[in-house]
Homo-oligomer: A and B are copies of this chain.
Amino acid sequence: MHETCDAEIESLGARPNFPVRLGIIGGGQLARMTAIAALPLGVDVVVLERNPHSPAARLSPDCIVGDWADRETLLKFASRCDVITLENEFVDASALTALEQSGHAVFPTAASIALTQDKLTQKQALHRARLNVPEFARVSSPEEIAAAAQRFGWPLLLKTRRNGYDGKGNFTLRSGADVEAGWRALGGGQNELMSEAFFPFTKELATIVTRGRDGTATVYPVVETIQRDHVCHVIKAPADIPAELAERATRTALRAVEAVGGVGSFGVEMFLTAAGELAVNELAPRVHNSGHYTIEACECSQFENHVRAVMGWPLGSPRLIAPAAVMLNLLGTCKAPGRPGRWRAALAAPGAHVHLYGKAVSSAGRKMGHVTALGNSVAEAFARAERAAREIRFEDHP
Protein backbone atom coordinates (compact mmCIF):
# COMPACT_ATOMS: atom_id res chain seq x y z
CA MET A 1 0.00 0.00 0.00
CA HIS A 2 1.37 3.38 -0.88
CA GLU A 3 1.56 5.74 2.01
CA THR A 4 2.11 9.38 1.38
CA CYS A 5 4.61 10.90 3.67
CA ASP A 6 3.51 14.45 4.16
CA ALA A 7 5.88 17.33 4.51
CA GLU A 8 4.86 17.90 8.09
CA ILE A 9 5.93 14.42 9.04
CA GLU A 10 9.19 14.57 7.11
CA SER A 11 9.98 17.93 8.66
CA LEU A 12 10.33 16.18 11.99
CA GLY A 13 13.55 14.83 10.58
CA ALA A 14 15.11 11.56 11.60
CA ARG A 15 17.82 11.07 14.11
CA PRO A 16 21.00 10.46 12.21
CA ASN A 17 21.24 7.02 13.78
CA PHE A 18 18.21 5.59 12.03
CA PRO A 19 18.34 3.92 9.65
CA VAL A 20 21.75 2.71 10.73
CA ARG A 21 24.34 2.63 7.94
CA LEU A 22 26.55 -0.41 7.52
CA GLY A 23 29.54 0.00 5.24
CA ILE A 24 30.78 -3.07 3.40
CA ILE A 25 34.23 -3.09 1.84
CA GLY A 26 33.85 -5.16 -1.31
CA GLY A 27 30.78 -5.50 -3.52
CA GLY A 28 30.64 -9.15 -4.54
CA GLN A 29 27.94 -11.71 -3.84
CA LEU A 30 28.81 -11.86 -0.14
CA ALA A 31 28.17 -8.14 0.21
CA ARG A 32 25.00 -8.54 -1.85
CA MET A 33 23.58 -11.28 0.34
CA THR A 34 24.61 -9.38 3.48
CA ALA A 35 22.77 -6.31 2.20
CA ILE A 36 19.64 -8.34 1.48
CA ALA A 37 19.73 -9.56 5.10
CA ALA A 38 20.54 -6.11 6.51
CA LEU A 39 17.65 -4.22 4.94
CA PRO A 40 14.78 -5.82 6.90
CA LEU A 41 16.64 -4.93 10.10
CA GLY A 42 16.42 -1.27 9.15
CA VAL A 43 20.09 -1.19 8.16
CA ASP A 44 21.03 0.71 5.01
CA VAL A 45 24.14 -0.48 3.22
CA VAL A 46 26.99 1.59 1.78
CA VAL A 47 29.29 -0.37 -0.55
CA LEU A 48 32.91 0.39 -1.43
CA GLU A 49 33.93 -1.48 -4.55
CA ARG A 50 36.36 -1.02 -7.43
CA ASN A 51 34.01 -2.38 -10.08
CA PRO A 52 30.98 -0.14 -10.79
CA HIS A 53 28.88 -3.15 -11.93
CA SER A 54 29.34 -5.28 -8.84
CA PRO A 55 26.64 -7.64 -7.51
CA ALA A 56 26.10 -5.46 -4.43
CA ALA A 57 25.99 -2.21 -6.40
CA ARG A 58 22.77 -3.50 -7.95
CA LEU A 59 20.94 -3.04 -4.70
CA SER A 60 22.67 -0.13 -3.04
CA PRO A 61 21.82 3.44 -3.95
CA ASP A 62 24.97 4.35 -2.02
CA CYS A 63 27.87 2.63 -3.74
CA ILE A 64 31.27 4.29 -3.75
CA VAL A 65 33.40 3.17 -6.66
CA GLY A 66 37.00 3.33 -5.58
CA ASP A 67 40.01 1.40 -4.41
CA TRP A 68 40.01 0.29 -0.81
CA ALA A 69 43.81 0.32 -0.93
CA ASP A 70 43.56 4.12 -1.08
CA ARG A 71 43.38 5.62 2.42
CA GLU A 72 41.54 8.75 1.36
CA THR A 73 38.84 6.72 -0.41
CA LEU A 74 38.51 4.53 2.67
CA LEU A 75 38.11 7.53 4.96
CA LYS A 76 35.54 9.16 2.69
CA PHE A 77 33.61 5.88 2.64
CA ALA A 78 33.90 5.49 6.42
CA SER A 79 32.51 8.95 7.05
CA ARG A 80 29.20 7.76 5.58
CA CYS A 81 28.92 4.66 7.77
CA ASP A 82 28.04 3.93 11.38
CA VAL A 83 29.79 0.54 11.33
CA ILE A 84 32.17 -0.93 8.76
CA THR A 85 32.63 -4.57 7.81
CA LEU A 86 34.36 -6.51 5.01
CA GLU A 87 33.27 -9.10 2.51
CA ASN A 88 36.84 -10.24 1.87
CA GLU A 89 40.04 -10.55 3.86
CA PHE A 90 42.30 -8.88 1.29
CA VAL A 91 42.01 -5.35 2.59
CA ASP A 92 45.26 -4.01 4.00
CA ALA A 93 44.94 -4.37 7.76
CA SER A 94 46.99 -1.25 8.42
CA ALA A 95 44.40 0.77 6.48
CA LEU A 96 41.74 -0.71 8.76
CA THR A 97 43.84 0.22 11.78
CA ALA A 98 43.95 3.80 10.48
CA LEU A 99 40.13 3.76 10.23
CA GLU A 100 39.87 2.54 13.82
CA GLN A 101 42.29 5.22 14.98
CA SER A 102 40.09 7.82 13.28
CA GLY A 103 37.26 6.62 15.55
CA HIS A 104 35.42 4.36 13.10
CA ALA A 105 33.85 1.09 14.28
CA VAL A 106 35.36 -1.73 12.18
CA PHE A 107 34.28 -5.35 12.69
CA PRO A 108 35.99 -7.76 12.46
CA THR A 109 38.67 -5.54 14.02
CA ALA A 110 41.83 -4.62 12.15
CA ALA A 111 43.84 -6.77 14.57
CA SER A 112 41.62 -9.78 13.89
CA ILE A 113 41.82 -9.28 10.12
CA ALA A 114 45.62 -8.88 10.33
CA LEU A 115 45.95 -12.13 12.25
CA THR A 116 43.63 -14.04 9.93
CA GLN A 117 44.56 -12.71 6.48
CA ASP A 118 48.11 -14.00 6.89
CA LYS A 119 47.82 -17.79 6.82
CA LEU A 120 51.03 -18.15 8.81
CA THR A 121 49.98 -15.91 11.72
CA GLN A 122 46.50 -17.47 11.57
CA LYS A 123 47.99 -20.97 11.97
CA GLN A 124 50.27 -19.74 14.75
CA ALA A 125 47.27 -18.30 16.61
CA LEU A 126 45.34 -21.55 16.24
CA HIS A 127 48.39 -23.53 17.36
CA ARG A 128 48.85 -21.28 20.40
CA ALA A 129 45.20 -21.92 21.28
CA ARG A 130 46.11 -25.66 21.31
CA LEU A 131 43.94 -26.39 18.32
CA ASN A 132 45.01 -29.21 16.04
CA VAL A 133 46.31 -27.88 12.71
CA PRO A 134 48.44 -29.51 10.00
CA GLU A 135 52.13 -28.97 10.72
CA PHE A 136 53.41 -25.81 9.10
CA ALA A 137 56.54 -23.70 8.70
CA ARG A 138 57.53 -20.32 7.32
CA VAL A 139 59.69 -20.86 4.19
CA SER A 140 61.85 -18.10 2.71
CA SER A 141 63.84 -20.05 0.13
CA PRO A 142 63.78 -23.29 -1.88
CA GLU A 143 66.25 -24.66 0.68
CA GLU A 144 63.83 -24.02 3.52
CA ILE A 145 61.11 -25.79 1.53
CA ALA A 146 63.34 -28.82 1.18
CA ALA A 147 64.05 -28.68 4.91
CA ALA A 148 60.32 -28.54 5.65
CA ALA A 149 59.76 -31.57 3.43
CA GLN A 150 62.35 -33.46 5.47
CA ARG A 151 60.31 -32.75 8.60
CA PHE A 152 56.79 -33.15 7.14
CA GLY A 153 57.37 -35.59 4.24
CA TRP A 154 55.88 -35.49 0.73
CA PRO A 155 53.52 -34.38 -0.64
CA LEU A 156 54.11 -30.94 0.84
CA LEU A 157 51.80 -27.96 0.38
CA LEU A 158 53.28 -24.63 -0.55
CA LYS A 159 51.06 -21.57 0.04
CA THR A 160 51.28 -17.82 -0.28
CA ARG A 161 50.70 -16.33 3.15
CA ARG A 162 48.25 -13.77 1.78
CA ASN A 163 45.61 -13.25 -0.91
CA GLY A 164 45.03 -16.92 -1.72
CA TYR A 165 41.50 -18.28 -2.16
CA ASP A 166 39.72 -21.13 -3.92
CA GLY A 167 43.03 -22.95 -4.52
CA LYS A 168 44.70 -19.85 -5.90
CA GLY A 169 48.02 -19.32 -4.10
CA ASN A 170 48.41 -23.04 -3.34
CA PHE A 171 50.85 -25.49 -4.95
CA THR A 172 51.27 -29.17 -4.14
CA LEU A 173 54.86 -30.43 -4.20
CA ARG A 174 55.01 -34.18 -4.83
CA SER A 175 58.78 -34.51 -4.54
CA GLY A 176 61.98 -32.50 -4.41
CA ALA A 177 61.78 -32.11 -8.18
CA ASP A 178 58.74 -29.82 -7.76
CA VAL A 179 60.34 -27.36 -5.33
CA GLU A 180 61.73 -24.91 -7.90
CA ALA A 181 58.51 -24.95 -9.95
CA GLY A 182 56.39 -24.28 -6.86
CA TRP A 183 58.68 -21.51 -5.67
CA ARG A 184 58.41 -19.80 -9.05
CA ALA A 185 54.66 -20.44 -9.51
CA LEU A 186 53.82 -18.74 -6.20
CA GLY A 187 56.27 -15.88 -6.72
CA GLY A 188 58.74 -16.93 -3.99
CA GLY A 189 61.08 -14.10 -3.12
CA GLN A 190 58.34 -11.58 -3.86
CA ASN A 191 55.46 -13.20 -2.01
CA GLU A 192 55.90 -14.54 1.49
CA LEU A 193 55.31 -18.30 1.53
CA MET A 194 54.66 -21.03 4.03
CA SER A 195 54.68 -24.79 3.83
CA GLU A 196 52.21 -27.19 5.30
CA ALA A 197 52.21 -30.94 5.89
CA PHE A 198 49.71 -32.88 3.83
CA PHE A 199 46.85 -33.84 6.11
CA PRO A 200 45.32 -37.22 5.14
CA PHE A 201 41.71 -36.18 5.40
CA THR A 202 38.78 -38.25 4.19
CA LYS A 203 36.16 -35.55 4.65
CA GLU A 204 36.11 -31.78 4.69
CA LEU A 205 33.84 -30.24 7.29
CA ALA A 206 32.93 -26.64 7.80
CA THR A 207 30.80 -24.45 9.98
CA ILE A 208 29.97 -20.83 10.51
CA VAL A 209 30.66 -19.23 13.87
CA THR A 210 29.04 -15.86 14.54
CA ARG A 211 30.60 -14.00 17.42
CA GLY A 212 29.25 -10.76 18.81
CA ARG A 213 31.08 -7.65 19.90
CA ASP A 214 30.56 -8.76 23.50
CA GLY A 215 32.10 -12.19 22.88
CA THR A 216 28.85 -14.17 22.90
CA ALA A 217 28.91 -16.59 20.01
CA THR A 218 26.73 -19.05 18.20
CA VAL A 219 27.79 -21.98 16.01
CA TYR A 220 25.88 -23.22 12.97
CA PRO A 221 25.44 -26.92 12.18
CA VAL A 222 28.60 -28.72 11.06
CA VAL A 223 28.33 -29.40 7.33
CA GLU A 224 30.23 -31.50 4.84
CA THR A 225 31.81 -29.58 1.99
CA ILE A 226 32.67 -31.17 -1.31
CA GLN A 227 35.19 -29.24 -3.37
CA ARG A 228 35.69 -29.45 -7.10
CA ASP A 229 38.92 -27.95 -8.48
CA HIS A 230 39.51 -26.32 -5.07
CA VAL A 231 36.18 -24.50 -5.26
CA CYS A 232 33.32 -25.18 -2.87
CA HIS A 233 30.83 -27.15 -4.90
CA VAL A 234 28.38 -28.96 -2.61
CA ILE A 235 27.36 -28.34 1.00
CA LYS A 236 25.52 -31.08 2.84
CA ALA A 237 23.87 -30.01 6.07
CA PRO A 238 24.17 -31.54 8.55
CA ALA A 239 27.37 -33.55 7.95
CA ASP A 240 26.86 -37.30 8.24
CA ILE A 241 29.11 -37.73 11.28
CA PRO A 242 28.57 -39.08 14.82
CA ALA A 243 27.13 -36.62 17.34
CA GLU A 244 30.31 -36.75 19.43
CA LEU A 245 32.36 -35.67 16.43
CA ALA A 246 29.92 -32.89 15.53
CA GLU A 247 30.19 -31.57 19.08
CA ARG A 248 33.98 -31.71 18.90
CA ALA A 249 33.95 -29.84 15.58
CA THR A 250 31.58 -27.25 17.04
CA ARG A 251 33.86 -26.64 20.04
CA THR A 252 36.91 -26.54 17.78
CA ALA A 253 35.36 -23.97 15.45
CA LEU A 254 34.26 -21.77 18.33
CA ARG A 255 37.74 -21.85 19.90
CA ALA A 256 39.32 -21.08 16.53
CA VAL A 257 37.26 -17.92 16.07
CA GLU A 258 37.93 -16.91 19.67
CA ALA A 259 41.65 -17.44 19.05
CA VAL A 260 41.68 -14.70 16.41
CA GLY A 261 39.29 -12.41 18.32
CA GLY A 262 36.70 -12.68 15.57
CA VAL A 263 33.55 -10.54 15.49
CA GLY A 264 30.90 -11.34 12.90
CA SER A 265 30.27 -14.52 10.92
CA PHE A 266 33.43 -16.54 10.25
CA GLY A 267 33.79 -19.61 8.05
CA VAL A 268 35.79 -22.42 9.66
CA GLU A 269 37.05 -25.19 7.37
CA MET A 270 38.13 -28.42 9.02
CA PHE A 271 39.73 -31.71 7.92
CA LEU A 272 38.58 -35.07 9.21
CA THR A 273 40.63 -38.28 8.95
CA ALA A 274 39.29 -41.83 8.75
CA ALA A 275 40.40 -42.29 12.36
CA GLY A 276 38.28 -39.35 13.50
CA GLU A 277 41.15 -36.88 13.89
CA LEU A 278 40.05 -33.30 13.33
CA ALA A 279 42.23 -30.38 12.25
CA VAL A 280 41.45 -26.78 11.44
CA ASN A 281 42.29 -26.11 7.80
CA GLU A 282 41.47 -22.46 7.48
CA LEU A 283 39.48 -19.57 8.88
CA ALA A 284 37.75 -16.98 6.71
CA PRO A 285 37.03 -13.74 8.62
CA ARG A 286 33.72 -13.20 6.84
CA VAL A 287 30.51 -14.87 5.72
CA HIS A 288 31.40 -17.97 3.77
CA ASN A 289 30.22 -20.03 0.81
CA SER A 290 29.71 -23.01 3.14
CA GLY A 291 27.02 -20.98 4.94
CA HIS A 292 24.86 -19.86 2.02
CA TYR A 293 22.43 -22.69 2.75
CA THR A 294 21.57 -20.93 6.04
CA ILE A 295 19.44 -18.35 4.15
CA GLU A 296 16.60 -20.83 3.80
CA ALA A 297 17.66 -23.63 6.14
CA CYS A 298 18.34 -21.87 9.44
CA GLU A 299 16.20 -19.74 11.68
CA CYS A 300 18.65 -16.84 11.29
CA SER A 301 21.08 -16.85 8.35
CA GLN A 302 24.83 -16.32 8.55
CA PHE A 303 24.22 -12.99 6.82
CA GLU A 304 21.60 -11.69 9.26
CA ASN A 305 23.71 -12.87 12.18
CA HIS A 306 26.76 -11.15 10.71
CA VAL A 307 24.83 -7.89 10.63
CA ARG A 308 23.53 -8.42 14.17
CA ALA A 309 27.06 -9.21 15.41
CA VAL A 310 28.88 -6.25 13.88
CA MET A 311 26.10 -3.86 14.92
CA GLY A 312 26.42 -5.11 18.50
CA TRP A 313 22.92 -6.59 18.56
CA PRO A 314 21.77 -9.95 20.02
CA LEU A 315 22.41 -12.95 17.79
CA GLY A 316 19.70 -15.11 16.22
CA SER A 317 19.41 -18.86 16.36
CA PRO A 318 21.47 -20.94 13.89
CA ARG A 319 19.03 -23.84 14.27
CA LEU A 320 18.14 -25.83 11.14
CA ILE A 321 14.42 -25.49 10.39
CA ALA A 322 14.35 -28.69 8.31
CA PRO A 323 16.03 -32.05 8.85
CA ALA A 324 18.50 -31.45 6.01
CA ALA A 325 19.65 -28.98 3.39
CA VAL A 326 21.95 -29.07 0.39
CA MET A 327 23.57 -26.18 -1.49
CA LEU A 328 25.08 -26.46 -4.95
CA ASN A 329 27.21 -23.71 -6.44
CA LEU A 330 26.43 -22.48 -9.93
CA LEU A 331 29.78 -21.96 -11.63
CA GLY A 332 30.50 -20.46 -15.02
CA THR A 333 32.02 -22.76 -17.60
CA CYS A 334 33.22 -20.27 -20.20
CA LYS A 335 33.29 -16.61 -21.06
CA ALA A 336 29.70 -15.80 -21.89
CA PRO A 337 26.90 -13.45 -20.95
CA GLY A 338 25.71 -14.01 -17.41
CA ARG A 339 22.27 -15.08 -18.57
CA PRO A 340 21.27 -18.52 -17.28
CA GLY A 341 20.05 -21.07 -19.80
CA ARG A 342 16.95 -23.20 -19.23
CA TRP A 343 15.92 -20.79 -16.51
CA ARG A 344 12.23 -21.69 -16.60
CA ALA A 345 13.04 -25.37 -16.19
CA ALA A 346 15.23 -24.53 -13.20
CA LEU A 347 12.49 -22.48 -11.55
CA ALA A 348 10.00 -25.28 -12.16
CA ALA A 349 12.06 -27.70 -10.04
CA PRO A 350 10.03 -28.17 -6.85
CA GLY A 351 11.55 -26.96 -3.61
CA ALA A 352 14.68 -25.41 -5.13
CA HIS A 353 15.72 -21.90 -4.10
CA VAL A 354 17.74 -20.38 -6.91
CA HIS A 355 20.07 -17.46 -6.22
CA LEU A 356 21.79 -15.51 -8.99
CA TYR A 357 24.42 -12.94 -8.14
CA GLY A 358 23.57 -10.61 -11.01
CA LYS A 359 26.95 -10.83 -12.71
CA ALA A 360 26.75 -9.63 -16.29
CA VAL A 361 29.29 -12.12 -17.61
CA SER A 362 30.45 -15.60 -16.70
CA SER A 363 33.88 -17.17 -16.98
CA ALA A 364 35.20 -20.63 -16.24
CA GLY A 365 34.83 -21.34 -12.52
CA ARG A 366 33.29 -17.97 -11.70
CA LYS A 367 30.67 -18.16 -8.96
CA MET A 368 27.46 -17.04 -10.69
CA GLY A 369 24.89 -18.20 -8.15
CA HIS A 370 23.81 -21.15 -6.04
CA VAL A 371 20.82 -23.38 -5.40
CA THR A 372 19.61 -24.50 -1.98
CA ALA A 373 16.95 -27.09 -1.21
CA LEU A 374 15.61 -28.45 2.06
CA GLY A 375 14.55 -32.04 2.61
CA ASN A 376 13.80 -34.74 5.11
CA SER A 377 17.23 -36.17 4.30
CA VAL A 378 20.41 -34.94 2.64
CA ALA A 379 19.65 -37.26 -0.27
CA GLU A 380 16.21 -35.73 -0.77
CA ALA A 381 17.55 -32.18 -0.50
CA PHE A 382 20.37 -33.02 -2.91
CA ALA A 383 17.96 -34.40 -5.51
CA ARG A 384 15.80 -31.26 -5.29
CA ALA A 385 18.72 -28.85 -5.58
CA GLU A 386 20.35 -30.86 -8.37
CA ARG A 387 17.18 -30.88 -10.44
CA ALA A 388 17.31 -27.09 -10.65
CA ALA A 389 21.10 -26.70 -10.77
CA ARG A 390 21.58 -29.05 -13.68
CA GLU A 391 19.34 -26.90 -15.88
CA ILE A 392 21.34 -23.73 -15.40
CA ARG A 393 24.23 -23.19 -17.78
CA PHE A 394 25.93 -19.89 -18.42
CA GLU A 395 26.60 -20.19 -22.11
CA ASP A 396 26.02 -18.07 -25.16
CA HIS A 397 22.44 -19.17 -25.64
CA PRO A 398 20.73 -18.42 -28.88
Closest to A363 in B: B9
Distance in angstroms between the alpha carbons of A41 and B336 in the assembled complex? 19
Contact of A30 among B1, B322, B335, B356 (CB under 8 A): B1
| Stretch from A52-60, A76-84, A117-125, A174-182 forming part of the interface with B | A52-60
Q: Which of A269-306 contact B (CB under 8 A)?
A: 289, 299
Contact of A59 among B59, B336, B344 (CB under 8 A): B59
A153 within 8 A of B: no
| A10 neighbours in B (Cβ, 8 Å) | 53, 360-361
| A12 neighbours in B (Cβ, 8 Å) | 335-337, 361
> Could you give, for residues 165-209 of chain A, a 1 whenever the CB lies within 8 Å of some chain B CB and a 0 otherwise?
110000000000000000000000000000000000000000000
| A314 neighbours in B (Cβ, 8 Å) | 344, 347-348
| Stretch from A31-39, A222-230, A246-254 forming part of the interface with B | A31-39
A44 within 8 A of B: yes
Distance in angstroms between the alpha carbons of A316 and B44 in the assembled complex? 29
| Stretch from A103-111, A143-151, A366-374 forming part of the interface with B | A366-374
- Given the known A-B contacts A3-B366, A3-B367, A51-B5, are A15 and B337 also in contact in the complex, defined by CB atoms under 8 Å? yes
Given contacts A1-B30, A42-B369, 17 further A-B contacts (CB under 8 A): A2-B88, A3-B367, A5-B53, A10-B361, A14-B339, A15-B337, A17-B339, A39-B59, A40-B353, A40-B355, A42-B340, A58-B61, A59-B61, A313-B344, A316-B347, A321-B321, A321-B322
A28 within 8 A of B: yes
Nearest 10 A/B pairs, CB to CB: A42-B356, A18-B339, A14-B360, A314-B348, A2-B88, A40-B355, A15-B337, A314-B347, A2-B26, A14-B337
> Could you give, for residues 341-353 of chain A, a 1 whenever the CB lies within 8 Å of some chain B CB and a 0 otherwise?
0011001101101
A242 within 8 A of B: no
Asked whether A1 lies within 8 Å of B347 as measured between CB atoms, the reply is: no
| A18 neighbours in B (Cβ, 8 Å) | 337-340, 360
Closest to A288 in B: B1
> How far does the Cβ of A28 sit from chain B's closest Cβ, in whole Å?
5
> How far does the Cβ of A190 sit from chain B's closest Cβ, in whole Å?
19
A63 within 8 A of B: yes
Distance in angstroms between the alpha carbons of A308 and B343 in the assembled complex? 11
A386 within 8 A of B: no
Asked whether A308 lies within 8 Å of B350 as measured between CB atoms, the reply is: no
Asked whether B53 lies within 8 Å of A361 as measured between CB atoms, the reply is: no
Contact of A317 among B13, B344, B351, B363 (CB under 8 A): B351
Asked whether A5 lies within 8 Å of B361 as measured between CB atoms, the reply is: yes
Q: Could you show 17 A-B contacts with beta carbons less than 8 Å apart?
A: A1-B289, A3-B28, A5-B359, A12-B336, A12-B337, A12-B361, A14-B361, A19-B358, A32-B39, A39-B59, A40-B354, A42-B369, A58-B61, A59-B61, A308-B347, A316-B347, A321-B322
Interface centre among A3, A338, A344 (most CB of B within 10 A): A3
Closest to A5 in B: B51
| A9 neighbours in B (Cβ, 8 Å) | 335, 361, 363
| A61 neighbours in B (Cβ, 8 Å) | 57-61, 63
Contact of A13 among B5, B337, B347 (CB under 8 A): B337
> How far does the Cβ of A136 sit from chain B's closest Cβ, in whole Å?
23
| A152 neighbours in B (Cβ, 8 Å) | none
Asked whether A1 lies within 8 Å of B317 as measured between CB atoms, the reply is: no
A154 within 8 A of B: no
> How far does the Cβ of A345 sit from chain B's closest Cβ, in whole Å?
8
